[in-house]
Structure 1
Amino acid sequence: MNTRSLVLAGLCTLLLGACADVHMKDYQQPTSAEKTTWSRSTPENISAAETIAPDWWTAFGDPDLNVLINRAIAGNLDIKILAARIGVAQAQIGEARAGALPTLDAGAGASFEKTTGQKFTKQFNLGTQVNWDIDIWGRVEKGVQAQTAEFHATEADWRAGYLNLVSDVSTTYFQILQFDEQLDQQQKTLAKNKQILAIFEAMFQNGLIPETQVLQQRAEVSRLTKDLLELHRLRDLAENALATLQGVSAGEFRIPTGHLQEKVKLPVVPAGLPSQLLSRRPDIVAAEFRVLEGYDLVGEAKLAQLPSIGLTGRGGTASSALSNLLKSFTFGLLPSINIPLLNPGVKARVKTTEAQVKVAEQEYRRTVIGSFEEVENALVNLDAHQKQRAELAQQTRDLQKVADQVQAQLREGVVSQLQVFESERSLLAAQLALLASHQQILSDTVTLYKALGGGWPTVRVSNAGQ
């Protein structure tokens, strides 16, 4: 009878399982906008490995930048938090997998009683119980797959954070060097204007120019002094920001002064750019893994509608004398079937997870379309700023020739010292513009490498084992 009852129960379980909607479609990458070429790139598509090296920042040719990035990777707290989250996600895989394993409980106890008119009684007992919910439908395995997808998404989050950190360190470092060079040139500009002011004051004393011209030049000296103070302030703030990126307290970190155009070279961006952006950018990979996680959570929720089979094993002993406690044992095996005939929460969970998949798919599409914009904007900026720099370089060369000629004319007595100062001031302004253009192209290059995935290898999103 017991065997027939178990068989009958099993058949009922299968019939009930057949009635539940547990159909699960295979995972497919969400449809999204497509892009195979870039507007300012040659038609030739080359591999990512040929385009961007994993340590792409070394192309700037500055050993100090390499040291700063290595220190930031080792000390940045945001990166450490992301790494700790990977550890949490990995531990949660084991937690999910533990749902398919049996549990064992053991306990011991004693009771002592004395009733008026009765003898003193004592009872000792020892018992164990094994519980095992058999994962016959694979519901627990679906949960493990979902958590594994989250683990891979968390890894991609770390890669994205790594890429952001390297980009932030690079651009902040470039700004500091730009400020150093600006400060040097601003000091020269201020000195020239003070000399012009001294000439104006002497000319005013001799009645050659009106006082308004002297006042205007004094105002210009005050403006340049104010700008010089502002540059010092901005450099200090950038240095504090770089300290935080390094994981060091602000105010306890200093960057030696340097000249941007001498220390950091402009790398040559390849003419061909990789088209396999969707499988390389960490943020896109993370978004797709979370879509996959949603698929697995839907499967887990659907399988929860099916009956579950459990086994409970009990064993124990009891005795009034502690010395006799281990002489006899009682064992029992209790199979059970739990049939969710009416559980609104289970069906509601299915609808919730299905809705969450749609959210994850839309977030994936948003990430993809945003990444296309970032790449295209980086290419537009880089192209425009390179052309502008060519014009600025030509302007600087022309003004340098003018300054040289005016200086030669001064030696011949053809022009005044004032005209020499004016020509040098114009030249310094052009040199500052050229410096700003150099820094902007460096930042554009960093942004482009970041937008293209920063040298990370391609990742195929699928469940483990597929």
Structure 2
Amino acid sequence: MHGQLVVVLTTALGAAMLSGCADVKMTEYKQPETPMKTSWSQSASQSAAVEPAETIRPDWWREFRDPYLDALVTKAIANNIDVKILAARTRVASAQIGEARAGALPVIDAGAGASFEKSTGQKLSKTFNAGTQINWELDIWGKVEKGVQAQTAEFNATEADWRAGYLNLVSGVSTSYFQILQLDEQIEQQRLALDKNRQILGIYDAMHKNGLLPNTRVLQQRAEINRLNNDLLELNRARDLTGNALATLLGVPAGDFKVPAGRLQQKVHLPVVPNGLPSELLKRRPDIVAAEYRVLSSHNLAGQAKLAQLPSVSLTGRGGTSSFALTDLLKTFTLGFLPSINFPVLDPSVKARVRTSEAETKVAEEEYRRTVMGAFEEVENALVNLDAHKRQREELQQQVEHLNVVAAQIDGQLKEGVVSQLEVFETQRSLLGAKLALLANHQQILSDTVTLYKALGGGWPTIAVGAVGKADQ
């Protein structure tokens, strides 16, 4: 039997040499080339670069110093349906590695049967049989192993997908929570504005009755109150919808969860984003890691398609027994061994598969480049927004300070009888508008920070896909 196997392998090697027209050369995996970026435009004039490990911690949301937000994130990670789906997909991909590896193992079939025949004038004929068959396609070229490597890369890609989903979840929970607290403060300020405008309406009514103010001015003030009431209804609607979205992220039915009212500027701390952020941080982004793993998977599948052009060697062994009596079934055996060679190089579909897999690899490479380019834009936009909103914050703070001084002076003049109560109300209304703008700016800076953390990979460790791919092989 050993001699026969040697003959089979020798014949297969000879056939492979004769099929020189088939390109079966394996190329080493290389990371697709992408445009390089040495620094970020908003960091060019800032301090020296810091180490990636010092920039973003894995639990970056704790930088906002809000225990309630920490609890929301913990709840979301444990219960979010989308993250659970992504985790289940990683288990599917892991199981598929074993499925791919099983292609190199022998397949054993066993069975038993009986036959009963009766003809007119003849005795009942009984036949019993049992047998087994082993089929084993030898992976002499490493075709199955290439498939295992491809599926391992796909598993790593699905794991990176899970990380990306995790990062999106935490980002979504954080921004939704900030929006709810901002809306709470806006609702509070809107109610104060309504109270002030109702007081103004009362003064206008009194002045109109005394002939000091036309009726159109009273109607204008009533219309202003209608507008403020409408805006308050809209704010409450937006608060409810944002709360429903947050409940879904937490894995709770919409309407069954409500965030307690709070003040955004008092509860959530503005973290300090380090200067000199290194561009290497993008290597942490899960979507970039997933895209590159899929390039590696396509690369290995293309290699498997090339190897499929080579002859395949199969060994088939059969064994069985048959008798007319069940008690004599195991007394005699029949054994057989059949090595065989298949030449798929003559199959046009095999060559077509090579061309298809190589084209799919090119698609994966371009998708990787698109992901990297999109990441550059996201980081740049986040830095631009964060820088602009921080500069706007300085202007808004000065505006509020100036209006506070004006309001204090107007109050003093009111006591001296220099100005009317209407001027006090108008000044206070302007001050409320400035405070609302400062509140919105605070929420924008928080959201920009979340977006930046997310765009830079959210603290995940750097993964060298090419090195991991070699280790898997």
TM bin (shorter chain): over 0.9
Please state whether the residue corresponding to 1:335 is helix, strand or coil. Answer: strand
Contact 2:50–2:275 (Cα < 8 Å) also in 1: no
The answer for the alignment partner of 1:26 in structure 2 is 28
1:189 to 190, 193, 196: 193
Alignment of 1:442-457 (within 5 A): 442-457=446-461
The answer for the alignment partner of 1:288 in structure 2 is 292
**Distance (Å, rounded) in 1 between the aligned partners of 2:76 and 2:299:** 37
1:352 aligns with 2:369: no
**Distance (Å, rounded) in 2 between the aligned partners of 1:134 and 1:359:** 32
The answer for the alignment partner of 1:12 in structure 2 is 14
1:129 to 130, 133, 141: 133
Contact 1:16–1:306 (Cα < 8 Å) also in 2: no
Unaligned runs of 5+ in 1: none
Shift of 1:13: 3.1
1:155 to 148, 154, 159: 159
**Distance (Å, rounded) in 2 between the aligned partners of 1:45 and 1:141:** 43
**Distance (Å, rounded) in 1 between the aligned partners of 2:305 and 2:9:** 27
Alignment of 1:214-225 (within 5 A): 214-225=218-229
How has the CA–CA distance of structure 1 residues 8 and 403 changed in structure 2, closer, same or farther, with 3 Å as cutoff? closer
Please state whether the residue corresponding to 2:316 is helix, strand or coil. Answer: strand
Shift of 1:262: 0.4
Q: Which amino acid aligns with 2:108?
A: L
Shift of 1:119: 2.8
The answer for the alignment partner of 2:443 in structure 1 is 439
1:111 aligns with 2:115: yes
**Distance (Å, rounded) in 2 between the aligned partners of 1:71 and 1:184:** 28
- TM-score, length basis structure 2: 0.96
Moved more, 273-282 or 82-91: 273-282
Shift of 1:116: 2.4
The alignment of Structure 1 onto Structure 2 pairs a total of residues equal to 466
2:242 to 229, 238, 250: 238
Unaligned runs of 5+ in 2: none
The answer for the alignment partner of 1:172 in structure 2 is 176
Please state whether the residue corresponding to 2:88 is helix, strand or coil. Answer: helix
Say what the alpha-carbon RMSD is for the aligned residues: 1.5
The answer for the alignment partner of 1:144 in structure 2 is 148
Shift of 1:7: 6.6
Contact 1:145–1:464 (Cα < 8 Å) also in 2: no
Please state whether the residue corresponding to 1:310 is helix, strand or coil. Answer: strand
Please state whether the residue corresponding to 2:279 is helix, strand or coil. Answer: coil
The answer for the alignment partner of 1:391 in structure 2 is 395
Shift of 1:334: 1.1
Q: Percent same amino acid among aligned pairs?
A: 68
Q: Which amino acid aligns with 1:153?
A: A
Deviations 1:104-156 (A, max 9, x none): 10000011112223332111000001110000000000000000000000011
How has the CA–CA distance of structure 1 residues 29 and 228 changed in structure 2, closer, same or farther, with 3 Å as cutoff? same
Contact 1:17–1:307 (Cα < 8 Å) also in 2: no
Please state whether the residue corresponding to 1:276 is helix, strand or coil. Answer: helix
1:332 aligns with 2:336: yes
**Distance (Å, rounded) in 2 between the aligned partners of 1:411 and 1:102:** 99
**Distance (Å, rounded) in 2 between the aligned partners of 1:418 and 1:117:** 124
Q: Which amino acid aligns with 2:68?
A: D
**Distance (Å, rounded) in 2 between the aligned partners of 1:263 and 1:78:** 28
**Distance (Å, rounded) in 2 between the aligned partners of 1:187 and 1:231:** 11
1:427 to 431, 438, 460: 431
1:309 to 307, 313, 327: 313
Shift of 1:422: 1.0
**Distance (Å, rounded) in 2 between the aligned partners of 1:433 and 1:398:** 14
Deviations 1:8-45 (A, max 9, x none): 62453342454421012110000111111011113633
Shift of 1:6: 3.9
Contact 2:8–2:341 (Cα < 8 Å) also in 1: no
**Distance (Å, rounded) in 2 between the aligned partners of 1:17 and 1:141:** 22
1:376 aligns with 2:380: yes
Contact 1:149–1:290 (Cα < 8 Å) also in 2: yes
The answer for the alignment partner of 2:260 in structure 1 is 256
Please state whether the residue corresponding to 2:344 is helix, strand or coil. Answer: coil
How has the CA–CA distance of structure 1 residues 402 and 450 changed in structure 2, closer, same or farther, with 3 Å as cutoff? same
**Distance (Å, rounded) in 1 between the aligned partners of 2:9 and 2:410:** 107
Contact 2:47–2:275 (Cα < 8 Å) also in 1: no
Please state whether the residue corresponding to 1:233 is helix, strand or coil. Answer: helix
- TM-score, length basis structure 1: 0.97
Contact 2:22–2:345 (Cα < 8 Å) also in 1: no
**Distance (Å, rounded) in 2 between the aligned partners of 1:18 and 1:137:** 15
